Amino acid sequence: MNIVEAKVIVTCPDRNFVTLKLTTDDGLTGVGDATLNGRELAVASYLKDHVCPLLIGRDASRIEDTWQYLHKGAYWRRGPVTMTAVAAVDTALWDIKGKAAGMPVYQLIGGRSRDAVTVYGHANGATVPEALEQVGSLLDQGYRAVRVQAGVPGLEKVYGVPTDRAPYEPAVAGDRPEEATWSTAKYLNFVPGLFAAVRERFGHDFHLLHDAHHRLTPIEAARLGKAVEPYGLFWLEDPISEELQEGFRLIRRHTTTPIAVGEVYNSIWDCHQLITEQLIDYIRMDVVHGGGITHLRRVFDLADLYHVRTGSHGATDLSPVCLAAALHVDVAVPNFGIQEYMPHTDTTNAVFPHSYRFADGLLYPSEEPGLGVDIDEEAAAEYPYRQAYLPVNRLEDGSLHDW
């Protein structure tokens, strides 16, 4: 079962995606998501110029050996570009192995630990009333968990909060990133009231989540975590910039609000300290940026030893290929916590036909052999790449701040 073709497909059905498609000499194909939001072409080049030539003739069944070959053999290990490329290969090989075995991938990594995957939806509003309206809509659709974000009074734009009630899109098309002004003081004074309004209107019978987008210092995050304790957050996501991991110790000393981090991580060594010192409660690494199914399982197994649960990133900057793979992992691991879910557009779904399904706040992985997702290459060709960037934040004095 040797690889005879490795193809990189770049397409933009409403947003950019990079997909690796492998074909074996017996006609089996496998797909892997290789999308790195705002830096998509860097991964596409890494794959086409440096990885795909190495895959031709390799045994597609040797997943672990291929992972080690690409990781250790490059010398320049880790990093988002490298690990996203490795993840695409790894995911595609698991897809092929599932098809060869005639089984869904979750059966190959231990079988089911649960029947379905609890997901959280996004309630975003330019104002508190708009955010409450979105919360009510998601609860009516059966969601059991909702992430709530709202515009901050006095700030023209807030990342992740559309101003026109349009679906939230992380990246904006253009030849340069958009810039916005940020004020931590205004945010900290406003956001506890948002959660108070949500709980007053809808009660406590669902999980409430919030993302701080790395914008706070440790002491500011501790203040926020303590202030929102009465509202019972399921988690406070990315409260601080994650490079200085000692900062999480200060947060832990001051609040019992659960902390979730890790969507920007790509290696087990990025989160090793946070997990082993029990400084976080949920690890947010995903299949694409976390080195594929093979490596993500290692991260989640380590987390399980320290009572840390999973909460994988799942925004629309990851294609249905990633979501399909994530669900196979989610349904299998013992320490699953929750899965982020943002439905893709109809255009994206047409390019990436899949058989996972959503019902009553739960996602169910495909039961087809492999991942249960594919890419329609003819449809993909209709949507050429377009430049897009995540926004940039500046403080009110004009200095650069975390996004």
pLDDT digits (tens, 9 = 90+) for 192-206: 999 999 999 999 999
Least confident of 160-174, 175-189, 216-230, 306-320: 160-174
Q: Give the pair of three-digit tokens for residue 106.
A: 């979750």
Residue 162 has a pLDDT of 80
Is the pLDDT at 350 greater than 70? The verdict is yes
List Cβ<8 Å contacts ≥24 apart for 131-134: 131/194, 131/198, 132/197, 132/198, 132/201, 132/202
Name residue 324's amino acid. A
Is the pLDDT at 319 greater than 80? The verdict is yes
What is the tally of helices (H) and strands (E) in the chain?
14, 18
Which residue stretches of 143-231 are H helix?
A: 184-202, 218-227
Contact 310/330 with Cβ under 8 angstroms? yes
Q: Mean pLDDT over residues 210-235, rounded? A: 97
Q: What is the mean pLDDT of the chain?
A: 96
Catalytic residue among 46, 120, 143, 159: 159
Q: CA 78 to CA 86: how far, in whole Å?
A: 10
Distance of CA 199 to CAs 36, 132, 204, 222, Å? 35, 10, 6, 21
Residue 160 has a pLDDT of 79
Least confident of 10-14, 175-179, 251-255, 307-311: 175-179
Is the pLDDT at 33 greater than 70? The verdict is yes
Q: At what angle do helices 320-332 and 292-305 cross, to 10 degrees?
A: 40
Burial of 31 (C-beta count, 10 Å sphere; 0-12/13-18/19+):
buried
Residue 243 has a pLDDT of 85
Summarize pLDDT for 44-93 with one digit per residue, the tens.
Answer: 999 999 999 999 999 999 999 999 999 999 888 899 999 999 999 999 99
Q: Phi and psi dihedrals of 37, rounded to 5?
A: -55, 120
Residues 6 or more apart whose Cβ sits within 8 Å of residue 141: 121, 361
What whole-number percentage of the chain has pLDDT above 70? 100
Q: Mean pLDDT over residues 202-211, rounded? A: 98
Catalytic residue among 207, 210, 213, 344: 213
Using pLDDT thresholds of 50, 70 and 90, give the confidence band for residue 11.
very high
Strand-pairing partners, residue 148, are 123
Is 159 an annotated catalytic residue? Answer: yes
Sign of CA dihedral 386, 390, 391, 392: negative
**If we measure between CA atoms, which residue out of 62, 77, 28 comes closest to residue 291?**
77
Is the pLDDT at 403 greater than 70? The verdict is no
For residue 92, the Cα-to-chain-centroid distance in whole angstroms is 18
Q: CA 120 to CA 97: how far, in whole Å?
A: 30
Summarize pLDDT for 123-157 with one digit per residue, the tens.
Answer: 999 999 999 999 999 999 999 999 999 999 999 98
Query: pTM of this prediction?
Result: 0.96
Strand-pairing partners, residue 208, are 146, 233
Is 213 an annotated catalytic residue? Answer: yes
